[in-house]
Structure 1
Amino acid sequence: MTASSASGIPKSGFERILIGVESSPMSARLAKYVCGLVRPGVEVRIVSVAENPRALVPLGSLADAVFETIREELLRDASEAVKQAHEVFADANIDVDARVLELSRLGGYAGNALIDAAGEWHADLLVVGARQHHGMLRWFEGTVSEFVTSQTPCSILIVPASYVAAIHAYPRRILFALDGSEASFDALQSGLHLAGPGSSTRAVYIVDRAVRFLEKTFIDEGDKALAAAADFFANQINPVELGLVKTDPASDDIPHTIVREAQRWHADLVVVGTHGRRGFSRWFLGSVAGRTARITQTPLLMVRPHLNSYDACKN
């Protein structure tokens, strides 16, 4: 297995990072985490979405004065979120572009607004925070989860609010979940660009024991995937680990196993590929990616291969 040239992700890593922030303390922490991923020459844009009052208060006869009061409050909250994140980058001497997306003028929904912003700016990485039941995690609940993870025209990094570990200048322990597909090796190649001089890396293949009669097949495929991964790591000077990890025999699945392995190994970044389509490697098609995103306790980078045309990756 060799590095794919079809990814479309620059060989130097992500070059245009769009960060979606909201009015909560986690926005500054989100910005601090992204600071560790920024390398010289990377462009960063911070956006916050000011909701449409009429979408939040479904009253067709909402008085103009009330509408304006709510709109101004939402706009202040979004502006403050952008300001807090911007200050983090200023302290790190990183220039960023910052703006507020006002849905009362643009129309649509918050998730659509960020997806559109990523597409229009040709971002190759969209970063969002996630917290349960409110704020941005509503994008990652149910069918909305599938919409965002499938329709965002670039890779996506989710930083859960529950992640309370120390944030360093770069990811110190990066876990790669491979499924044997070209997409997962694209993700491995991209994730390695985020490693620093002291980073430890671990690549795992999850053997799904729920399908018992295929367990041996999965093990064989996993051995091949890890052997291919060893080629990617051949020139790495950082510590590298490779391993097969098995799901529990019952009441378990691949997303929960990835989350457990990340916690067991104390990873501060998990990297997976999306749209693998070869052999039995179909983990990250459809629901598995969304379920992993919803339950992760560790920042999760989902690398999406770009096609020759940027717009084609929306299809």
Structure 2
Amino acid sequence: MLYSKILIAVDNSEFSEKAAINGFKLAEQLDATVALLYVVDTSKAVANIDTGVYPEQALFLLKKEAEQTLNKLAALHTGKEVVKFMPQGIPTKDIIKTAEKWEADLIVLGTHGRTGLMHLLVGSVSESIIRHSKIPVMVYPSK
């Protein structure tokens, strides 16, 4: 199968940078259009009244972090222009939704490699994407 539109889902982790670099290399080899996606996780926009941070401010900071991450990672790509997506919502749902809307042929993402209790409590975005995506998913391991 030929991949012409590759969607790389990222966050601000080192694992995402590794996935982005490898996704960019693949896109260059295939002469594919590439997009970076950072889902602003609205569940993390919580208030902390003790420190004076309200939900709107927390969301603003999360969006700023997402924008900086997208720009930093996009600068690593030497090929065609990078399309950037920054929806607000739930990563596991919005990665798949964006891939389908953009008509991506492949989703590329990294994994944090959590195991045991952390994996059970936090869950795995990568695992959920693999289970629910209708298009191929390429996961770069943390190690």
The TM-score bracket by the shorter chain reads: 0.7 to 0.9
In 1, Cα distance between equivalents of 2:59 and 2:33: 29
Alignment partner of 1:210 out of 40, 43, 62: 43
Deviations 1:6-64 (A, max 9, x none): xxxxxxxxxxxxxxxxxxxxxxxxxxxxxxxxxxxxxxxxxxxxxxxxxxxxxxxxxxx
Deviation at 1:276, TM superposition (A): 7.8
Distance 1:193 1:270, change over 3 A: same
Give the TM-score of the pair, scaled to structure 1: 0.37
In 1, Cα distance between equivalents of 2:70 and 2:113: 16
Partner of 1:257: 94
**Does 1:180 find its partner at 2:12?**
yes
Distance 1:207 1:193, change over 3 A: same
Map 1:11-30; keep pairs closer than 5 Å.
none
Distance 1:286 1:295, change over 3 A: same
Partner of 2:117: none
**Contact 2:113 2:142 survives alignment (8 Å):** no
Counting aligned pairs with the same residue, the percent is 28
Helix, strand or coil at the partner of 2:26: coil
Deviation at 1:305, TM superposition (A): 3.0
**Contact 1:172 1:198 survives alignment (8 Å):** yes
In 1, Cα distance between equivalents of 2:98 and 2:133: 11
Alignment partner of 2:33 out of 194, 197, 200: 200
Letter aligned with residue 208 of structure 1? D
Give the TM-score of the pair, scaled to structure 2: 0.77
**Does 1:246 find its partner at 2:71?**
no
Deviation at 1:288, TM superposition (A): 2.3
Deviations 1:175-205 (A, max 9, x none): 0111011110100111222224531000011
Unaligned runs of 5+ in 2: 46-54, 115-121
CA-atom RMSD in angstroms: 2.0
**Contact 2:16 2:109 survives alignment (8 Å):** yes
**Which 4+ stretches in 1 moved above 4 angstroms?**
none
Number of residue pairs aligned between Structure 1 and Structure 2 = 124
> Whose RCO is larger (CA < 8 A, sep 6+)?
2
Map 1:1-315; keep pairs closer than 5 Å.
167-168=1-2, 171-195=3-27, 196-212=29-45, 213=55, 214-233=58-77, 235-236=78-79, 238-247=80-89, 253-275=90-112, 286-306=123-143
Deviation at 1:229, TM superposition (A): 1.1
Decide which structure has greater helix share: 2
Deviations 1:91-135 (A, max 9, x none): xxxxxxxxxxxxxxxxxxxxxxxxxxxxxxxxxxxxxxxxxxxxx
